[in-house]
Structures are given as C-alpha cells and as structure tokens.
Amino acid sequence: MPSVQGLIVRLPRPRGSRLESTALVGRPIFFSMAIIVLAFIPVFALTGQEGKLFHPLAFTKTFAMAGATILSVTLVPVLCTLLIGGRVPGEQANPVMSPLIWCYRPVLGWALRHRLVTLGVATLVLAGALVLVPRIGKEFMPPLSEGDLMFMPITDPAISLPQAIDITKKQNAAILAVPEVAGVVAKISRAETSTDPAPVNMTETIVGVERVPNAGPSGPPPAR
C-alpha cells in the first residue's frame, strides 16, 4: 500500500494513476510472496515424525500465501481505485515509513557501493545453508519411543454400558492377538474425577508393546 500511494503521488492522473500504480507493484508483490513460499520447501523435505508434525503447517502457510498473492494482484487494485482518493501524502509523511526509509537508504547505498562484499556475504550464507541440508529432519525433535501406545475408539453416543464393555472385551482380545503386544488395559467412560468428563461411548486403551532386542532403554525403535 505505501508503494501504491507513492506512485500515485508521482503520477498526474488520479484514477489512471491508481491503476498504473497497482500494476507496477503487482510484480514485486508476487515475487515477494513467492520467496516466502519457497522458504518452506525444506519443511516439505522432512520425513517421519518431523514430516507428520510440520507438513500441515507448511501446507497451511503455502495456501494462505497463495491466497494472499491472488488477492494482492486482483482485489487490492480494485480497492485502491475505490478507497484511495483526494490528496495522498507521500512516503516521507508517513510516521511509520519515515524511520524505516531513514535506516534503509544508507544500508542500500553501502550495499550498492560494495557489491563484491555484498555478494560474498550472500554466498557465504547460502553455503552455510547448503551445509545444513543433510541435517534436515534430524534436529527438530528427538526420537519418540515410549514403548506404549494409546488407542481411543469412540462408539455410538446411545450405547449402553454393557454393550460398551462387550465391545471393549472383543477389542482387547483382538489387540492381544498381535505378537508385539505385551498387554492392554482399557477404561470405559470417565474416572472418579471431575477433570475427565468422558462419555460412555469413549474408551481409552493403553497398549503395552514388547521390547525388541535392538531397542534402547526407552523401548522399541520409532516407526518410520
């Protein structure tokens, strides 16, 4: 929006200047959004537990940025032609933009005067990022291997307590038939506490898993 206002100030025709201003800033907005989306590409490379944990975040962020990009080059120009009118002050009159411009211009001038140094620093940062690529997926979270699983099935809300007990018995028998299972304990409905308002159709099942020979002290190796 400040860029649109700045271009409107410099262009002579009021309505035509708005359209031309929004057209000029459309490409920078699109590429800035694209850079933000590309920054999440390493998150998509995560696998296992890290991938399952962070992939929804990356997809949500990508979809949100894609929607923002579409709106910035379609709806925002229309709103600018309708809402921006009259005398539009320049960027220097904006109390937020003025200190930012005051800080940015010297840095930009120094970078343009020392191009080789700027490119060298950028290359070093890129090389450092490439060095960390083989470690992606290993530093986000420790391996989870508690050795027990929690299974919480939910049945029909109108189920009676005898029916829930019968279904739970069959469920426990089916789970115990798995060779890797050491034991299974199920709890129907809530416990004798007000902090566990679980209905009768909710069953909390704790499944104990057998230790395997190559497992550490925390249980079997995590599934990938």
Model confidence pLDDT, tens digit, residues 152-185: 888 888 888 889 899 999 999 999 898 888 889 8
Per-residue pLDDT for 194 more than 50?
A: yes
The pLDDT, as a whole number, for residue 108 is 92
* 23-50 residue pLDDT tens: 677 778 878 888 888 888 878 887 777 7
Distance CA 55, CA 47 (A): 9
R_g over Cα of the chain: 30
Q: Residue 121 pLDDT > 70, yes or no?
A: yes
The per-residue pLDDT for 120 is 95
Helix residue ranges per DSSP H, 132-205 = 161-176
Q: How far is CA 213 from the centre of its chain?
A: 37
Query: What pLDDT was estimated at residue 16?
Result: 53
| Residue 138 reports pLDDT greater than 80 | no
The predicted model gives 56-66 an average pLDDT of 88
> Where would I find the beta strands (DSSP E) of 117-166?
148-151
Average pLDDT over residues 60-64: 89
For position 48, what pLDDT does the model report?
76
SS (H, E, C) 165-182: HHHHHHHHHHHHCCCCEE
Please check the confidence at residue 213 and state whether its pLDDT lies above 80. Answer: no
What is the number of helices (H) and of strands (E) in the chain?
Answer: 7, 3
What local confidence, expressed as pLDDT, does residue 107 receive? 92
